[in-house]
Amino acid sequence: MQESQARELAAELDRRDQIGWLRERFVVESDGPIYLDGNSLGRLPLRSLARLDQVLRAEWGGGLVGSWDGWIDLPSRVGDELGQHLLGAGPGQVLVADSTTVNLFKLASSALDARPGRSTIVSDRGNFPTDRYLLEGLAKQRGLRLDLVDFPEVEGPSPDLVAKVLSDDTALLALSHVDYRSGALADMTGINRVAHSSGALVLWDLCHSVGAVPIELDSSGADLAAGCTYKYLNAGPGSPAFLYARADLQASLRQPIWGWFGQTDQFAMSQGYQPVAGLGRFQSGSPNVIGIALVDEGVRLLAEAGIQAVREKSLALTSLLIELHDAWLANLGFELMSPRDPRLRGSQVTLRHPDAYRVCRAMIADARVIADFRAPDRLRLGCAAPTTSFGEVCEAVIRIRQLVQSGRHLAEAAQPSRST
């Protein structure tokens, strides 16, 4: 394929883009870089600026402590919106709170308590580090076994493979819905089914799928899930995370961090912890109002566009990227490390290259294309549909091609022996 042909194709795809208007709702500097790292930190929605001004000046500055009347149910209110529009979850099952790590800890701990007598936790050796570490900590604390399974990296865990590693000793199966390395999208329904048939509970990490992939927690039979909001939900660096617990499980779950926001009749401040009846029992301390307001804005923008439209564009973007990789990059030492079948991938394309570290550095410094590097040799190209154009994907691959063809990336410092 000629570059001119590819650029024409991309321009045509941009003209036909049903959610092209969405990009204008974000801060995008006209002379800025091509940003293929929305899978790490999403862009800033313009409306979030107005919302923060409202929350700060009017609500905090003007309304002072009285504004808590409107703030106190933000965790569940925004959680319900998130559930309805992006998680396939009915009301009362999603809370915006804490960090992903803390939420995974609360959920995993509750799940282990709910499966007494079973002594194994199963996860993926390729799972995101924080997931592995917190499970390792829980296993150690409780004298349980953590079984980290080597699922195939590009395809991820399938129901068949999962079925083979579960037993009647498995208390909890903890997996990522979309693999942070390859972007592989797991069959949530199928995996829930095999896990339940062995009596285990399932905890899903939705960090790399929420806002990019339609999720159907309720209808897939999911038990527990958590995820972050700073990637595809565009809620800002380190914004509060969310958690999901299926309605019929909630009464049997007791999360470990007992706090006043989970207490029945909170402001009676009485003796003896008595958790509220619903999901509110998963709250601990004061909710981060400013952070949750930003999550609210992020969810609203995606709800307006519709997650199906976002998914459709996302797949077209990653398909174009893979097509251009095949045409121009495969013969430069790159190898595709994401599923080719669009139904099986999230919203990123991962490429392996022996010089991935230097390529990534040179892309930023020299080619003005921002992606991210993951040790030892992976380049992750995220295609956040609301803010990435087909023209940018095309131009990015052209620049990577030119960079590697010219060898300019070799001028970058080599990867340090320990990455920082």
Question: What are the catalytic residues?
Answer: 128, 205, 230-231, 380
Nearer to a copy of itself, 7 or 142 (CB): 142
Nearer to a copy of itself, 11 or 146 (CB): 146
> Which structure tokens are listed for 405?
């063809």
As measured in angstroms, the least distance from the Cβ of 297 to a copy of itself is 12
Residues 412 and 173: their CA atoms lie apart, in Å, by 42
Radius of gyration over every alpha carbon of the chain, rounded to an integer in angstroms: 22
Identify whether the C-beta of residue 302 lies closer than 8 Å to the C-beta of residue 231. no
Residues 31 and 272: their CA atoms lie apart, in Å, by 58
Nearer to a copy of itself, 61 or 407 (CB): 61
As measured in angstroms, the least distance from the Cβ of 340 to a copy of itself is 25
As measured in angstroms, the least distance from the Cβ of 162 to a copy of itself is 20
As measured in angstroms, the least distance from the Cβ of 294 to a copy of itself is 8
As measured in angstroms, the least distance from the Cβ of 361 to a copy of itself is 12
Residues 376 and 357: their CA atoms lie apart, in Å, by 8
Please report where in the chains the tokens 């290259």 appear, as a residue: 353
As measured in angstroms, the least distance from the Cβ of 175 to a copy of itself is 17
Nearer to a copy of itself, 45 or 157 (CB): 45
Instruction: Give Cα separations from 302 to 77, 206, 309, 310, 383 (angstroms).
Output: 16, 16, 9, 8, 15
From 91, 110, 104, select the one nearest 256 (Cα to Cα): 110
- The full length of the chain comes to 420
Please report where in the chains the tokens 């549909």 appear, as a residue: 385
Identify whether the C-beta of residue 44 lies closer than 8 Å to the C-beta of residue 234. yes
> What is the DSSP pairing of strand 378-382 with strand 372-374?
antiparallel
Nearer to a copy of itself, 248 or 265 (CB): 265
SS3 317: helix
**Angle (CA) 111 113 116, round 5°:** 110
> What is the DSSP pairing of strand 170-176 with strand 94-96?
unpaired
Please report where in the chains the tokens 């009846």 appear, as a residue: 277
> Which structure tokens are listed for 172?
């909890």
Nearer to a copy of itself, 65 or 413 (CB): 65
SS3 107: helix
